[in-house]
Amino acid sequence: MQALTANIMKHVMGLPEGEPVSAKALLHLGSRAAVDQSLSRLARRKQLMRAGRGLYVRPVQTRFGMRPPSISNLVQGLASLKGEIIASHGAAAANALGLTTQVPVRSVFLTSGRSRLLKVGEQVVELRHAPAWQLVMAERPAGEAIRALAWLGEEYAGEALLSLRDRLPSQEIENMANARFRLPTWLAEQISKVGVNG
């Protein structure tokens, strides 16, 4: 059992910050029951942090002690591990694009997977299932703009689009226009109204 625990830690130490690990990903090291026990033992020793059911991450050692990994790294790693699309929530996207000064209090992300909460140390991350159109171009500024506009709603989208036209590269505006067929009618119409031509 000690050899298995050491092998798990060796594997985990080779992962980038925030990369989550699950028992299923470690079955090449031992049986499911033995891997589960070793992961639980490592979490009790605080060598790993439990992030969710069957999901663990390595804490980051700093000169001030241990801290949880970066939430964005954890979310990116989880997307890769689970094969999900995970993107910033519309409120965070609107703030990042300068469309609002409101700073989201909670860490909320949209996902193609099921809704759930992750807890890493004292931080709670909410993964909220979203329709496919809100996850279009998840990694691109155009996708961030679409999520921001969805969060702002129909009443404020036109004004926000005028602002985005000046802030985003023309290629990203074109990407938004090209995605109109995937968007709700009100948003596709707003994009068309401000003269964004695909």
The CATH number assigned to the domain holding 21 equals 1.10.10.10
Co-location of 90 and 63 in the same domain: no
Summarised one tens digit per residue, pLDDT across range 101-143 is 887 778 999 999 999 999 888 889 999 999 999 999 999 999 9
Residue in the block written with tokens 């226009």: 177
User: Domain range holding 16?
Assistant: 2-67
Q: Is residue 175 part of a domain?
A: yes
Q: What does pTM read for this prediction? A: 0.84
Express each pLDDT in 9-45 by its tens digit: 999 999 999 899 999 989 999 999 999 999 999 999 9
Residue 77 in contact with residue 70, Cβ under 8 Å? no
* Of the candidates 41, 44, 39, 51, the residue with the CA atom closest to the CA atom of residue 123: 51
Number of domains in the chain: 2
Residues 95 and 40 in one domain: no
In angstroms, what CA-CA distances link 121 with 38, 65, 72, 118, 161? Answer: 19, 13, 15, 10, 38
Determine, yes or no, domain membership for 89: yes
CB-count exposure of residue 34 (10 Å: 0-12, 13-18, 19+): middle
Same domain, 97 and 140: yes
Residue range 180-184: mean pLDDT, rounded: 95
Q: Which residue has the higher pLDDT, 179 or 53?
A: 179
Shared domain for 42 and 96, answered yes or no, is: no
Regarding whether 184 and 133 lie in a shared domain, the answer is yes
Judgement on whether residues 44 and 101 belong to the same structural domain of the protein: no
Question: Does residue 163 lie within any of the structural domains?
Answer: yes
